[in-house]
Amino acid sequence: MSDSDPIPPGARAQKKEEARTAIADAVIALLVEGRLDLNHDAVAERTGLARRTVYRYFPDRESLLGAGTDRVRQLAGPGVAFPRSEADLTGQLEAIYTGFDKIAPITTLVRSTPQGRAMRKANNKVRVERYRAATADAVKSLPPDDQTLATAMLQVLHTTPWLEMHDHWELSGEQIARATGWAIRTLLADLRARGNRPLDE
């Protein structure tokens, strides 16, 4: 192939994917370094890519930070994802919590630093949509405000306890999955039994 030959479509797609991955990895690296400036300029400097290239793939800060969060989930393993059904609320737990163990230093930063929380917040619209869909049947009889409260609590149990249970109790991902699985099953059973009674009754 000469220098003037066009890049094959497959190679072009691969190059784009490599650039996107490099950008997402740079966001994580900057987080690990404790950098406060998780932005396009810092990522361009870190990757050696042109600033306009970073903007082409991720046109605003929210999408840039979201790419970092997506990459964290990818590094943790294929089972670490937002739920698509009620069954996923318990069925994904071991994959999620053992995946968090696998990348514990990164998970800790994502869960405990302002930059990490900003990364997680960038995916919040999708997060809320997925959890509302996954819990819709379980909470459907509750008053509207309580539907949100119950869904939020189920979401917290699905991913959030790792940091506290890992750090303060020195529990493994498998143990955390068992505990949160019990708690989620208990709440789902309560929701089925309570009908339209408010959560504080």
Place of tokens 């009674």: 197
Residue 5 predicted with pLDDT over 80: no
111-167 pLDDT, tens digit per residue, is 999 999 999 999 999 999 999 999 999 999 999 999 999 999 999 999 999 999 999
Give the CATH number of domain 9-194; options: 1.10.357.10, 3.20.20.70, 3.10.580.10, 3.40.50.300: 1.10.357.10
**3-state DSSP assignment of residue 176:** helix
Q: Report residue 171's pLDDT band, with 50, 70 and 90 as the boundaries.
A: very high
Q: What is the pLDDT of residues 26-76, one digit of tens each?
A: 999 999 998 888 899 999 999 999 999 999 999 999 999 999 999 999 999
The C-alpha angle with vertex 37 and arms to 74 and 114, in degrees rounded to 5, equals 65
pTM of the full structure:
0.87
Residues 68/145, Cβ–Cβ less than 8 Å: no
- Calculate the CA dihedral of residues 78, 84, 86, 87 and round it to 10 degrees: -40
Give the 3-state secondary structure of residue 30.
helix
